[in-house]
Amino acid sequence: MQLSIKNLSKTYANGVKALDNISLEIPKGMFGLLGPNGAGKSTLMRTLATLQEADQGAVKLGSIDVLENKTALRKVLGYLPQEFGVYPKVNAYDLLQHLAILKGVRQKSERKELVNSLLERVNLFEHRKNHVNSFSGGMRQRFGIAQALIGSPKLIIVDEPTAGLDPGERNRFYNLLSEIGEQIIVILSTHIVEDVKELCNNMAIINQGKLLFNGKPSDGTDALKGKIWEMEMEKSKLLEIQSQVQIISKKLVAGRPLVHIYSEEHPGFDFREVQPNLEDVFFSKILGIKPTRSSQLV
């Protein structure tokens, strides 16, 4: 089974074109949807989750017409939005019981077995009697995955799941998502490049509603081989050269800028060629950098 998205578009009443003719084929496994804040990722996720209408286009999950048969899709969908509310003063066990009933698990013994199994799977069983609104960010996200797994979904959508998590919780969440993604389609929508790098075999980059890249992360990095150069420099040097090179990214390392640039030939100075990483792919696509021949700097 795969998810097929064809020519999907959405323009809001204020004129913002959140989705601009998006087409994707998403197979079983972890699929990363990468883009900056406001790129259109959440609009696409909400549309796939049948929470809002598209202006045009088609979406199919196997034989299910997602846009026309929302009920059929919801039966096989697990959804973890960026932020989700919980009932106050309701513990994790009781809330999962309630959600299981809403998803059609009517038999009490089956429901009890399911809820206990899910709590064990996300490592929350010992906290099952604690109120969910008292959970840490990582614990709440793991609870969110537990509720998304109710009903043996064929598609799970997670929207910005690791924002705000500490490194330990992020790693636990990575491991959990990787395990789930071995069996079904999991779409991970994020602006964090590291999430996609760690988890996803296939990915897409979108910005301003447009699809900029679709393929394996290695496809993106392979296309940049021999064209990414790195140099650590003083801030004054950065000001001197930034109008002469195609800067992809810059960050401070021990107070000094570490700069990555795109060039098809050695750009001079003390730049050294480096292996492209997924951040280079992301920023080059967002910035719209095209292969060009640049003059060597002196």
- pLDDT tens track for 242-259: 888 999 999 988 888 999
Answer yes or no: do 90 and 232 share one domain: no
Instruction: Give the global pTM.
Output: 0.87
Answer yes or no: do 187 and 204 share one domain: yes
Answer yes or no: do 53 and 196 share one domain: yes
Under the banding of pLDDT at 50, 70 and 90, the label for residue 298 is: very low
pLDDT at 293: 45
Q: Do 145 and 176 contact (CB within 8 A), yes or no?
A: yes
Answer yes or no: do 265 and 128 share one domain: no
Answer yes or no: do 199 and 267 share one domain: no
Res. 221: pLDDT tops 60:
yes
**In angstroms, rounded to a whole number, what is the distance separating the alpha carbons of residues 56 and 208?**
17
Q: Do 124 and 146 contact (CB within 8 A), yes or no?
A: yes
Q: For the chain, how many structural domains are there in total?
A: 2
Mean pLDDT of 109-134: 93
Mean pLDDT of 162-179: 82
Mean pLDDT of 133-139: 88
Looking at 214, 240, 267, the residue that finishes a domain is 214
Answer yes or no: do 79 and 176 share one domain: yes
Q: Give 41's Cβ-side CA count (13 Å radius).
A: 28
Answer yes or no: do 12 and 138 share one domain: yes
Structure token pair of residue 169: 């919780």
Structure token pair of residue 221: 């990095």
Answer yes or no: do 30 and 146 share one domain: yes
Answer yes or no: do 157 and 239 share one domain: no
pLDDT at 290: 66
Looking at 166, 189, 214, the residue that finishes a domain is 214
